[in-house]
Each structure stands twice: as structure tokens, then as C-alpha cells.
Chains A and B, each alone.
Chain A
């Protein structure tokens, strides 16, 4: 039963990973930018929420009313001032730009807040540790469940925006062919800035959830970026629900690893990620050679 409990907890953790990964996936899907600062922007959101909650005495949830629009604004500004310019210089420059941005964010946070590890847990009271006991050994944490529900909700809303609204149409068209989108009257620069705003706002939300369920410091970003990457790659690039599946696979793998040996938690996630990546490469190679029957026949 303890194993089932780990699987359930892993699925819920997957919601967090999916939330973290969806912004990364959106920015790559629309602008072809691999945002290496994505994890650090999430941590920036956590610090920002801490700051607002601390100054105003609000709960971190109330602080989101200020933080999320501000994060969207930061995404918009980053796109207009940095990403847009770097995109004109080829594929490598945006990668370097976001790498540099990541270092700048980490060190600014370090300079301002020091190396202390923080958590928003104390500020959300019982929510941080309360849980429902389903049966003997199966517990569902209130916060884990909340994060999972919010993650699915955000992905659902994002899906509806992309599929059903004029903004979503413009996003999909610009992602496919920005030149031609301009020729039918779509302001591609504005569309890019909207995508960056959504992406960074979701990253900030994910960072706040990380800060609530565990702890963070100025250098927590890169590890979160790796988790986001793994969820995106496992689930398949460009698919929102695939990202959710990828996040769940990663979360379950980590939790089962942790149950085997507490030191294996993160390692188990990496191993499953590499195994899936490897399997996909092999399958693609077999497909390119004309299918499994042909490959085996040649060897026989």
C-alpha cells in the first residue's frame, strides 16, 4: 500500500511539473526560444510572492493577484527588450541570452536576499501539512491536491485559449509561420509578447507552489529547469496534455525511486527520462529503416 501511496503522491507532484513545463513548452512552441531562465523566473516569482506577503501581511494566495500580472509584465518586457532582438541573430543567441539572464536573476536574488533557504509553507498554515487519509496507508496532501487541480485547470484554460479564441488562433498561426501571419494582419511582435507574458506568469505560479510545498533559495532555479525539460521531453514537445503526462511520469518515477532509497529520488527521475529518450531514438531509427521486421530481417 505504501507503493500505491507513492504513486498517488507522484501523480499529484506531476501536476506541479506540468505547470512548470507548460510555460517552457509554450515559449518554445511559439517563438522557438529555449528559455534557460525559466526555472529562475519561477524562483523570482516565489521571492516576489514572499516579498508581497511579507510587506502587506496578505496570504501568499492573495499576493498572487499582484504577482501574476507583474510576472506577465516581466515576460512581456523581456520579450520586447531582449528575446526579440536576440531572435534576429539566429538560434544560438537566444539560448545564450536566456543563459545570461538566468545568471543575472540568480545573482541579483542572492545579493538582495542572501543564501538563506526559505519557504512559504509557514505562511499558509495547516494547508502545508494537512492531508486526507483515504485508506490505511494512502494519504493525499491538501496542498498537493490543490496544486494538481490548479495545474490541470491552467492547462485546460490554456488549451481553450489556444483552440477557441482569436488570440489563440493568432498564437497558433504565428507559431507555424510568423511571416505569413503578418501578411494576414496579425501583429506577430504583439503575439510573441503575449506568449512570453503567459509563459513567465505560469512559471511564477509554479515557483510559488514550489515555495509552498518545499523550500527555495536564489540558486534553486536550474534544478527546476531540468525537471521542466524532462517533463516536456517525456510528454512530447508542443502538446499540453502530453506535458501533463510527462510531468506525471516524472513525478511517479521520483517517488518510487525515493521509496526504494531516499537518495534515489531525483536520480530515478533522470533515469526514466533518459530511458524514454533512448527508447524514442531507437524507435525513430527503426522507423527510418523501414520498421522492425526489416531491421530484424537484415540482421538474420
Chain B
């Protein structure tokens, strides 16, 4: 069944159109990788789906209901959770307080403090630390744990490897793969194409706010994605 439908979505930053007429559908349990260069509109698209950014046109339908005008905290309650770019932890709160804050949205499900600490053993020993004092990798795991604490039906992950040491990226993805192999519905923005393709069932490539390529991850060759990524097909040189 269709969990998320984005219909002709337009989102702007002032006069700049960051997302232009984007439409796609996501089935329950599907994992979508959103790829594209910097400034292609991926982050704005995720933030608009999560309700942190108001669209100027189009519709977002979640679980059969129109959520376009619904505030972000209500969408969390409906089951949409975003792990924002740059983690955005509450640095003045402890790690555990960051997690507990998200639990106040109180959706029922498998995720609670205990199960998050089991999934991310690295952060379990740091629970009383201020979030601002954690390492980048620990912060990222906390940010993912915080999103999971809301027991989302749709998990939006924005560049979870950004600014992390390679070894930290490895450990974040290890935990993450365990989490999403359980059948979660995920939209993932990731710069590392290889990693994105290995996690996702389907791929959407964005360029200057538009969807330029869309398809199952298995059927798209790396070359075609790279072409779409840089907009090479537009010059008529695409195969």
C-alpha cells in the first residue's frame, strides 16, 4: 500500500525554487535513496515532507490523509520522523534527555530507551553526557535514535554521514542497516552513491529541484545515475 505520495510539490526559499514540481510515491516498507548534487533540493524536499518547510504548491499525502497543511509536530505523531542534516541535537540537554524528548510524542511501537541503546550500544554508555560534548559519530547515532524514539512509520534520513570520520560512518551505517532491515520505510539522502544503492530499493535523482531519473536501484546503472546527477543527459550526449 502507498504510505507516502508527493504530488507536484513546489518549495521555495524566498524567490529561489528549491523543489520544482516533484511527484513520487513510496510503498510501505520501501527504501528510497534520494541522490543529487549539492543544492539539488534534496534537503528542502525532506524538510517539506517532515513539515519543517511550508510548500508553495502541491500536496503531501501520508497514509491516505492530506498532511500538506499539518504542523511538523502533528506529522511526528502521525509517524513521520526526520533525522535532520547536521544532526541538530539539543546541545544543552543530555543525550538521554534528547531521546526522552522525542518519546513525549508517544506513538506506540518497538522503540524505547532500552531498544535504542541496544541498537546503538556506542551511545548507551554516554547517556548522562551533554549532547554538545559528544563526538560526531555519537551525535549522529543519538540523532537517529531520537527519530526512532517517535516510532516512525516513515524515517527520513538527511546525510547521516556528513562531516563524520570514515570509521564513524561505518559504525553509523552498521547500526542503521540493522534498524532498517526490520522493514522500515525510509527515504535516505546520501552523497556516497555506492552506499545509497546498497541500502535502497529505488532511487530518485534530483537536479536543480526536479526529478531527472527514477527507478529501482537494481535496474539503474551507476553510469546512468552519474549522468543524471550532473545533468549530462540534457546536452543530448546521454545514451
Contacts and interface: CB of A to CB of B under 8 A. Distances in A.
Nearest to B86: A180
- How big is chain B's contact interface, by range? 20 to 34
- How big is chain A's contact interface, by range? 10 to 19
Interface stretch (B54-62, B88-96, B222-230): B88-96
A182 B72 contact: yes
B42 interface: no
Interface string B88-107: 10111100011011101100
B51 interface: yes
A270 interface: no
A233 to B, nearest CB: 21
A176 interface: yes
Nearest to A189: B71
Interface string B200-215: 0000000000000000
Interface string B120-150: 0000000000000000000000000011011
Q: Classify the secondary structure of A's interface with B.
A: helix
Given A183-B72, A185-B102, A185-B150, A172 B84 contact: no
Contact of B101 (A173, A179, A188): A173
Interface string A146-185: 0000000000000000000010011011001101111111
A137 interface: no
B93 A169 contact: yes
Contacts of B105: 184-186
Contacts of B97: 169
Given A182-B71, A184-B150, A176 B91 contact: yes
Nearest to A179: B52
Contact of B88 (A166, A169, A180): A180
A184 B146 contact: yes
A263 B101 CA distance: 52
A187 interface: yes
A172 B102 CA distance: 13
A19 to B, nearest CB: 24
B76 interface: yes
A169 B51 contact: no
Interface in A176-222: 176-177, 179-188
B84 A180 contact: yes
Given A176-B91, A183-B50, A185-B150, A169 B72 contact: no
Contact of A173 (B81, B84, B90, B150): B90
A172 B104 contact: no
21 contacts: A166-B104, A169-B93, A170-B101, A172-B92, A173-B93, A173-B98, A176-B90, A176-B93, A180-B84, A180-B90, A181-B101, A182-B71, A182-B72, A183-B50, A183-B51, A183-B72, A183-B76, A183-B82, A183-B84, A184-B150, A185-B76
